[in-house]
Amino acid sequence: MMKYGSLILEKKEYVFLKRLLNISGYAGDYETQKSLKRFSEELKLAHIVDEEEMPFDAIRFNSWVTIVFDNGMEKTIQVVTPMDKDLKHNKISVLTPMGSALMGYSEGDNLVWEFPKGKQHFKIIKVKQEESYSGINAKI
């Protein structure tokens, strides 16, 4: 179930994301490729908006996201560009199964996604934007 009916992405981030997916060519293991292909399909139906229309609770680059799995396990991660990933600090690249599963979803959304360890059901319980966030524009 999705709060906004489809993925919601800021225009410049969307362009950057498409470029990342083209460059990466769905690299990595089979499961990662499968996730990125599914993500690319979802992007075709995404709602693309200007910065000022971007909902505060939508997951974008540098968002901190708290999710809770069916088994009650809770996890907080930050969705970042591949260049900024840092697993020790819970910074997950958007080109990983988890990163691509979350991008464009919003607080309150429920997801089912295929991960290397099988299908996972989880709910996004909190989305917090990076305080210093000024868009991905500086990197493009």
- The verdict on residue 73 lying in a domain is yes
- The verdict on residue 80 lying in a domain is yes
Which residues in the chain come in under a pLDDT of 70?
Answer: 1, 25-28, 131-140
Structural domains counted in the chain: 1
**Domain, as residue range, for 65:** 8-132
Task: List, for residues 90-115, the tens digit of each pLDDT value.
Answer: 999 999 889 999 999 999 999 988 77
| DSSP three-state, residue 65 | strand
- The verdict on residue 50 lying in a domain is yes
| DSSP three-state, residue 89 | helix
- The verdict on residue 140 lying in a domain is no
- The verdict on residue 63 lying in a domain is yes
- The verdict on residue 61 lying in a domain is yes
DSSP secondary structure string for all residues of 25-56: TT-SSHHHHHHHHHHHHHHHT-EEE-GGG--T
51: which residues sit within 8 A by CB, 6+ positions away?
A: 10, 11, 12, 135
pLDDT value of residue 132: 55
pLDDT value of residue 55: 95
CATH of the domain at 61: 3.10.50.30
Helices (H), ranges, 1-140: 11-24, 30-44, 97-102
